[in-house]
A and B are shown apart, each in its own frame.
Chain A
């Protein structure tokens, strides 16, 4: 069965609805001839502002709706509408401003709205792209099974390396004890560890093992080197997986708090405008 993304939900129902909303707003904006100039306080300005505010409240409600399993409508439809109507919001609110911006709470609300939508766009992009590369990266494995395999490689490598000279064993031992997957925000997001002991061991091994003359030891060293390479490759996959997970989560750390700040700025905007009516 073909997979339909939320963007295509119900044959682009919400895309069409949003397009229609934008078209109506644009037509009204062009038709309306406010004097002396277009701004949020004209009849059309108030109308667009009301639509924008209701849309924002509805879009925020998605955060509540997605946690409810007994609610009506399916979540896929809600998300599709959330994405498309959120995009239309930019258009509606921009017309509401009448392109009148300044250093004030009104423009603060506008900029926050733009940031929320921009982070949402990034989220849509991430959800469209990341799960696919995530599956390709993990293959049949899960992160846990990768970690188990790394542990397994560690044990085998350590056992074999016990028969190697001190210098070589130290490289393996550091790799076994010191390798970390994850750790800091930078490591999670880059999917790399610049100070990874395993990568260091892989890098050092050919030079360190070059003086081995004993045939058995050389064969053993080759085995261990193979295991190190295997572990390095497994680590790469595990770290990439954490990176993808972090990418899938990170935009929400901007989207959700910015949305709440937008709600606050919106309340301040509306109340202040009507105090000084």
Chain B
């Protein structure tokens, strides 16, 4: 298509300029782009606004603004005819008479120059966030200053001794343990100096009796240099006490304890399953204490100086009771849990033995029993009993007791003669002597105790005295281990303490480490085993040796936050 384009533009002086151009193209492009054949240099026109094609005369086609894809659906299609101008944006296009040699001729007039367009009201409204008065910088500074003031400068007032006293509760990283809650928000009770670790002395103010791990002979200050209370005891971690329960901390030294301290008396330990020596038993030996590590070949013996065969008492057919026939005994008949329910009360004769082991003076004559304790008390009671019988006994009792017919001296008619009195006294004394010897050495005391008759003192023949070897029973053979019997109450006693075959009280039925290992694993989780760290059975602090022997409380005032006095 060959097209004559006459472009007219107004001049500032009121006239107009006119340019004529000849364009030849199949599609005559119309647009703002300088490469367009019909160049409409105005910002209100799209880059390639449309095109003029020859379809039996010029036709103006306009696609979607900006589209260069000519196959796109036409949105405007106008056949250009003389006398029917079309408007493209601010331009008016008219068809002129077709000169010779051309397919068509058009004129292009800018009818609404840019300057003449009225300023749209849209220009005055704010069109961006900054125009709305929002400012990143101002907000940022305000936030920065607010947080620094509220969370740093003001709270720091009290602790840094600044002229103001702010509340630093917002610095509290978490609740303290229950026992420390009465100290409450009094931070300085423990945090004595700003920018310094909490010192042990702050802990000792309230806990002065806390023990060291080892005695002074092992120089704990050197062994534990740099270790503070707070190394293990962390607070502000919730209401439940938090302490370091990590075998690594123990094993660090105990794996090779003798290289840490030449004086160490314990064996190396690395893990309950993989590296723990057999249990040692601590036994009182007169005035000293000895520790024994028994094994199968050398079972431990601890003589309590008492005859007590567990086998006989736990006879499945029962034992003979003086009042109830045959009674089948259980462990719990004699071993009673103490108040803590973790351990047991010591065995007491009156409570646990006397129901069967009656201390009767002479069962054929009387049901009276002598007191359990010193033989002298028993002898005195026996003397008094028979003396009373000799004085006031009815004929029946008299004959049963003394084996001869008669009755108490005071029951006879008339004043007793000297010979009768001496005879009655002799009778009573001789019988008391016999019964005492029988009771102590044969029938009663000797059943359980080691009894030795004392030599008769010179000048007082027939005076009876015995020495009973003191019984020494223990229920703490493993004082270094914490054991909770109640926590193990679902396990039968015999699983750990098998005494059914024990004939002597010197047999010890303490569990071996193997029996514990049936249920307890080491510090690493193991299927079917209770994960057991060192602290499950052992403690760290040995209460016998103070943590800091030189510690003297500095602050006599109570550290606990004082409650406001209640108004009356």
Contacts and interface: CB of A to CB of B under 8 A. Distances in A.
Interface stretch (B131-139, B269-277, B396-404): B131-139
B339 to A, nearest CB: 30
A105 B151 contact: yes
A232 interface: no
B443 interface: no
B140 A179 contact: no
Given A144-B43, A246-B128, A261-B147, A272 B152 contact: yes
B43 A148 contact: yes
Contact of A256 (B119, B136, B196, B232): B136
B171 A257 contact: no
A72 interface: no
Given A104-B170, A151-B117, A245-B128, A141 B136 contact: no
Contact of B125 (A105, A139, A181, A268): A181
Nearest to B111: A156
Contacts of B155: 272
Given A100-B174, A179-B120, A268-B151, A260 B125 contact: no
A180 B117 contact: no
B148 interface: yes
A151 B156 contact: no
A264 B119 contact: no
Given A35-B249, A152-B112, A181-B122, A246 B152 contact: no
Give the interface SS of chain A, mostly helix, strand, loop or mixed.
helix
Interface in A122-161: 139-141, 144-145, 147-152, 154-156, 158
A183 B125 contact: yes
Contacts of A105: 151-152, 170-171
Contacts of B145: 264
Interface stretch (A23-31, A50-58, A202-210, A247-255): A247-255
Given A36-B234, A277-B197, A104 B143 contact: no
Given A36-B242, A37-B242, A268-B152, A154 B171 contact: no
A261 B43 contact: no
B191 A276 contact: yes
A179 B173 contact: no
A218 to B, nearest CB: 18
Contacts of B43: 144-145, 148
Nearest to A261: B143
B224 interface: no
B129 A250 contact: yes
B291 interface: no
B172 interface: yes
A252 B195 contact: no
Interface stretch (B44-52, B446-454, B459-467): B44-52
B224 to A, nearest CB: 16
B126 A183 contact: yes
A77 interface: no
Nearest to B174: A102
Contact of A272 (B171, B234, B245): B171
B16 interface: no
A106 B173 contact: yes
B246 A152 contact: no
Nearest to A185: B132
B244 A35 contact: yes
Interface string B154-175: 0110011000000011111110
A4 interface: no
Contacts of A268: 147-148, 151-152
Interface in A218-272: 238, 242, 245-246, 249-250, 252-253, 256-261, 263-265, 267-268, 271-272
A104 B44 CA distance: 59
Contacts of A35: 232, 244-246, 249
A39 B173 CA distance: 11
A220 B159 CA distance: 83
B121 interface: yes
Given A261-B144, A265-B151, A276-B187, A152 B171 contact: no
Contacts of B121: 176-180
A233 to B, nearest CB: 10
B83 to A, nearest CB: 16
A36 B245 contact: yes
B506 to A, nearest CB: 43
Given A261-B144, A276-B171, A277-B198, A182 B118 contact: no
A71 interface: no
A264 B149 CA distance: 9
A155 B44 CA distance: 13
A108 interface: yes
A216 to B, nearest CB: 15
A60 to B, nearest CB: 11
Interface in B31-52: 32, 43-44, 46-48
A257 B136 contact: yes
| Residue in A144, A252, A271 whose Cβ sees the most chain B Cβ within 10 Å | A271
B309 interface: no
A150 B119 CA distance: 10
Given A148-B44, A188-B129, A180 B168 contact: no
| Residue in B114, B237, B243, B248 whose Cβ sees the most chain A Cβ within 10 Å | B237
Given A104-B170, A105-B171, A272-B152, A277 B195 contact: yes
Given A154-B118, A263-B144, A149 B125 contact: no
A104 B140 contact: no
A184 interface: yes
Interface in B170-218: 170-174, 187, 191, 194-198
Contact of A147 (B123, B142, B148, B159): B123
A1 interface: no
A8 interface: no
Given A265-B147, A272-B168, A276-B187, A180 B125 contact: yes
B118 A264 contact: no
Contacts of B191: 275-277
Contact of B140 (A147, A182, A256, A273): A256
Given A140-B46, A148-B43, A188-B126, 7 more contacts: A100-B237, A105-B171, A147-B120, A253-B139, A268-B148, A271-B156, A277-B191
Interface of B: 32, 43-44, 46-48, 64-67, 87, 89-90, 112, 114, 116-132, 134, 136-137, 139-148, 151-152, 155-156, 159-160, 168-174, 187, 191, 194-198, 232, 234, 237, 242-246, 248-249
5 contacts: A155-B116, A178-B121, A253-B139, A261-B144, A268-B147
10 nearest A-B residue pairs (beta carbon): A139-B66, A140-B66, A264-B147, A182-B127, A260-B140, A261-B143, A268-B152, A257-B139, A35-B246, A35-B244
